[in-house]
């Protein structure tokens, strides 16, 4: 049986992970978008940053292969891809944790409904306000 202290830990963990997701979202919005494209002309390799702008692909000249600017952009793109992977994994974990919390809170709601006086502790009121069925109906 899950105790309230365990449920408190789950909700705190959920909140921390949700904050981390927000941090990743802000980082991803500021990150370099697109990819580096290489074009060979007259024996030289030129690099371009390409990304989508609606239906079009827009290119920005970066320099020749091996230039510092090209290397910096490539590192920034790799970093963005790592952030995207971490974001997706954490988002899945948060969804699982949210489902667990909602399942436990639903059981608490049933237990309260079975009580004769239907009284609730302050903690139960807090949980039901934040995670209960009526809280999700309000948000919808």
Apex 50 CA angle, 48 and 52, nearest 5: 165
> CA 28, CA 25: separation in Å to the nearest integer?
5
In a domain, 39, yes or no: no
Q: How many domains does the chain have?
A: 1
Maximal C-alpha separation, the chain: 86
Write out the chain's pLDDT in tens, 140 residues. Answer: 456 678 888 888 999 999 999 999 999 999 999 999 999 999 999 999 999 999 999 999 999 998 999 999 999 999 999 999 999 999 999 999 999 888 888 888 888 777 777 777 777 777 777 787 655 444 44
In a domain, 54, yes or no: no
In a domain, 80, yes or no: yes
Q: The tokens 């049986």 sit on which residue?
A: 1
In a domain, 99, yes or no: yes
Q: Which of 40, 58, 41 is nearest to 49 (CA)?
A: 58
Gap between the terminal Cα atoms of the chain: 30
């Amino acid at each position: 049986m899950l105790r309230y202290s365990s449920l408190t830990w789950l909700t705190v963990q959920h909140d921390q992970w949700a904050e981390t997701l927000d941090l990743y979202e802000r980082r991803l919005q500021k990150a370099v978008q697109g990819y580096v494209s290489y074009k060979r002309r007259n024996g030289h390799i030129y690099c371009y940053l390409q990304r989508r702008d609606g239906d079009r692909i827009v290119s920005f000249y970066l320099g020749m292969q091996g230039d510092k600017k090209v290397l910096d952009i490539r590192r920034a793109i790799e970093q963005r891809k790592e952030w995207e992977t971490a974001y997706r994994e954490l988002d899945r974990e948060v969804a699982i944790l949210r489902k667990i919390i909602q399942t436990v809170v639903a059981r608490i709601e049933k237990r309260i409904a079975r009580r004769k006086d239907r009284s609730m502790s302050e903690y139960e009121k807090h949980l039901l306000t934040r995670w209960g069925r009526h809280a999700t109906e309000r948000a919808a």
